[in-house]
Structure 1
């Protein structure tokens, strides 16, 4: 019934009507001179003090000619629950809904008539979307963003928004204490063998020079985002992105999916990690401490001796603000394994599909053109950074991301006035504190002007340990990567529990093998049998079917 109503509504909107809105041609702003209001449903940010009396809201209204009203969903999981209750009760939905849904949920709501298909709009009216993608993304990125936009029935229900910071794709950093290396006359390691030699020296030769040969921690990580030592080291033995940080990617070669966590190369990587733990070179704390606990370790007072030789963790939070110790460290981009393997796991650079036009929207053409207008570069940058020429401005010069390709030129400069607070991280009524409707493809988001940070510690932490390091990792991945496998409703029902169980079991087993709770030699076959019993074959077969369908 809901589908029928949606179809009838669409037909009525196509027919001549006293309430029809006159729209400009695609690419022309403002969109209309008629008095029309679009309601946007979204989760309210705690940092946004007012959405109505708001710079971004007023800017969008001024540029498009469309009035905005807001409906606020509760935060967290309650947002999805609220939306489900609204659809079940027949409550009127906002014109535009911004909500994180799974592929299956998006299809279910769309095919049930709650979201309208956007196929025709994307083909005929996505002027600024195409302009943004053609200017700031590669043809392959544009192809991938659209490829994953289609639901199982061939319809596009979620607007294919693309926000991508290139550095986030490879944000797994290893950093080493150069002062310790100098104390011992050693060089920055480039291979796993060299790393082992350095860690042994750190442990046995009083690397920090305080007279106590037992207070050094040669290598440590944490359980938080970007803190997995094992994921970093396993990529010296096999390509391994089967990690929550990278979306639990399977491997692929010539279109054939494989599980990286059952190979002999993966097993060799575990042997190496186990060796480091067994010899006291890799701290067991890496598998239990939080990132906050590790930050406290790295940000200890300057008058305390350094105790960490090598860490895995993002330098920005690890070294905090104005920590002189940061100058003692240098980056290790990657390590070559004994068989010449040298990979770096690569995260998703595909679209987000969390913006929907509902069947209750009286003017879906206006709603889509509104969404598309925010893809325009000025509006997209303002949604992220704030007021133009106050919080950001156009600029020329070198980009912070020039190391990953000459196509990364400076486009904008942010926070050029140190006396003005940064909108993104402060409470204000300037922006909405969300990248949901704007388009910031890699070459636009990566177009941040390279300029000195406020002090030498900040400059070195972000410049020396991040922006100078990640380009060396950025291209160390296979040409073919199944960054996203889209399952239909039946497939989701079939393997959802299997997939979650296997992901949890692999994570747990990596830790147990490395810590010695499981013996890599004696318990390996049992580990494989347990994966088989959990349904690994079904998981792989279903994933292959879904991957083939998406990439046909």
Structure 2
């Protein structure tokens, strides 16, 4: 078989860099099309209107980024002279509430603010949030609740925040200006209805992990092309890679109905966005599943399956089967996941490396995730909420949000590295400390990821996280944000949601039929293309092209 070039690894993960939930974990929300956003140009006009009012900005200070400043319309000085109380609907960190969270309580105490939280378990979040919003009796703030702020902003429930951010949130404003980040939080009507979580630009979806120990056992080098990958997987199958004397118990490539072979498309040698399945090929936008490049890719997947290099149940077994299989023994050659330990366990994760990209086309997310905090029209003092939230967009505030309270949940060792404190009242293990006593975890949260998270974490207390951070940094060196932020109107989203869902399902079904031999690629390709057209592919791509053209014009 032939490929046009050696193909670039495009490892995508929804996930934010710290809150990993596995192959089926949360996605980077700004890559999902349903988050209506518009260009940074519209936000720049808001900046022009507020330029010259530097005295009207809150200024960060103190460990948790306390703020003080004046504005043209009034003064917000933190801590407040008198305690002010707000109400909030909030998603929980697992079984733990924001009410008893020491990082949250320190942040609020430093500002002399009280928030009365309605805390909701993740499993009930969508239903209860929507009930509250539809009732009309809603709180001042929606925090870590995955709310569609743009939707409710257009209905008048959420208030526009762009002027408040410019006026009362200098830390957040500076980050958004520096990262060209306004486009990722600005709705189709030109307003900003939520503030974001800001991470390092990260791999957008699950990475491809391959067993380095098996490669070492067989004297193999890390593959740098699809042909070399095929050869490595074939050796895993035939040469007793795990060395237990049984050459038939290795699974070279494990996939499931979520982490399916389509994720190998992330290795293409052109910028590729997995959610929309769009790529930039020869300088033009293309719907990749209808291209010759994709046809060649299907031939490769078919070769893997027919030669027994993929698990035979790859197209039918559920995501939930991956971890039990990976932890049943030394059987897994490669797989997709946010971190290797999620599949094979923490005792074996360092056997695996994230396969180094073959070209600098790895898909990265922007690292700017909207909808973490929105303010409703019930709030009488939104400027105070914004000034308080801005304290979390400094390095010190980021540490509070991500790591908790120094001396309580984390500390610095003699080497100058930070490490979690366990067994001292906030949890006997790291996962419990993070869930009970930091703001991050479960849903995205308003803050900036502190630089020390990636660069100064101690490997003594959490070697798996440090190892994973190193693999992430390696991948990020080869990455690009493949597309500008695509801004869809409510009407476009409604139209796309119907067409895209059906087409995505059909693409997966067709891949399974070709790979398993139910049909052949040569005999069915033309019919496949005609079926895509009949399902609305051309109209879907017309919308994508229109929105893409508008984005690059801005």
What residue number does 2:402 align with? 384
Secondary structure of the residue aligned to 2:252 is: strand
Q: Does 1:59 align with 2:94?
A: no
Alignment of 1:80-95 (within 5 A): 80-91=126-137, 93-95=138-140
Alignment of 1:87-236 (within 5 A): 87-91=133-137, 93-98=138-143, 105-130=148-173, 139=178, 142-143=179-180, 145-159=181-195, 161-164=196-199, 166=201, 168-169=203-204, 171-179=206-214, 181-182=216-217, 184-224=218-258, 227-232=259-264, 235-236=267-268
Cα gap change, 1:35 to 1:439, in 2 (>3 Å): closer
Deviation at 1:486, TM superposition (A): 2.5
- In 2: Cα distance, 1:84 partner to 1:298 partner: 37
Q: Does 1:438 align with 2:449?
A: no
Out of 315, 336, 342, the position equivalent to 1:287 is 315
Structure 1 window deviating more from structure 2 (518-527 vs 418-427): it is 418-427
- In 1: Cα distance, 2:278 partner to 2:191 partner: 26
Alignment of 1:332-411 (within 5 A): 333-334=355-356, 336=358, 343-393=361-411
- In 1: Cα distance, 2:133 partner to 2:171 partner: 31
Gaps of 5+ in 2: 1-67
Secondary structure of the residue aligned to 1:218 is: coil
Out of 262, 274, 289, the position equivalent to 1:261 is 289
Deviation at 1:287, TM superposition (A): 2.9
Q: Does 1:68 align with 2:68?
A: no
The answer as to whether partners of 1:206 and 1:212 remain within 8 angstroms in 2 is yes
The answer as to whether partners of 2:203 and 2:363 remain within 8 angstroms in 1 is no
The answer as to whether partners of 2:94 and 2:121 remain within 8 angstroms in 1 is no
The answer as to whether partners of 1:218 and 1:283 remain within 8 angstroms in 2 is yes
- In 2: Cα distance, 1:113 partner to 1:221 partner: 44
Secondary structure of the residue aligned to 2:342 is: helix
For residues 466-503 of structure 1, give each alpha carbon's deviation from its aligned partner in whole angstroms, at most 9, with x where no partner exists. 444444432434x5622642311221233220122222
Q: Which has the larger share of strand?
A: 2
Alpha-carbon RMSD across the aligned residues, in angstroms, is 3.6
- In 1: Cα distance, 2:251 partner to 2:492 partner: 46
- In 1: Cα distance, 2:509 partner to 2:223 partner: 29
Deviation at 1:290, TM superposition (A): 4.0
Cα gap change, 1:221 to 1:25, in 2 (>3 Å): same
The answer as to whether partners of 2:211 and 2:334 remain within 8 angstroms in 1 is yes
Deviation at 1:531, TM superposition (A): 0.9
Cα gap change, 1:481 to 1:114, in 2 (>3 Å): same
What residue number does 1:452 align with? 459
Q: How does the TM-score come out when normalised to structure 2?
A: 0.75
For residues 310-364 of structure 1, give each alpha carbon's deviation from its aligned partner in whole angstroms, at most 9, with x where no partner exists. 44443121221334xx56x35262465xxxx674333452332342111111222
Cα gap change, 1:39 to 1:212, in 2 (>3 Å): closer
- In 1: Cα distance, 2:511 partner to 2:269 partner: 14
Q: Does 1:486 align with 2:487?
A: yes
- In 2: Cα distance, 1:538 partner to 1:359 partner: 37
Alignment of 1:36-47 (within 5 A): 36-47=84-95
Gaps of 5+ in 1: 1-22, 398-409
- In 2: Cα distance, 1:175 partner to 1:537 partner: 37
The answer as to whether partners of 1:116 and 1:358 remain within 8 angstroms in 2 is yes
Cα gap change, 1:504 to 1:55, in 2 (>3 Å): same
The answer as to whether partners of 1:342 and 1:476 remain within 8 angstroms in 2 is yes
Cα gap change, 1:57 to 1:470, in 2 (>3 Å): closer
Whose RCO is larger (CA < 8 A, sep 6+)? 2
Aligned length: 480
The answer as to whether partners of 1:333 and 1:469 remain within 8 angstroms in 2 is no
What residue number does 2:61 align with? none
What residue number does 1:300 align with? 328
- Name the larger-Rg structure: 1
The answer as to whether partners of 2:409 and 2:437 remain within 8 angstroms in 1 is no
The answer as to whether partners of 1:377 and 1:439 remain within 8 angstroms in 2 is no
Secondary structure of the residue aligned to 1:97 is: strand
- In 1: Cα distance, 2:428 partner to 2:144 partner: 29
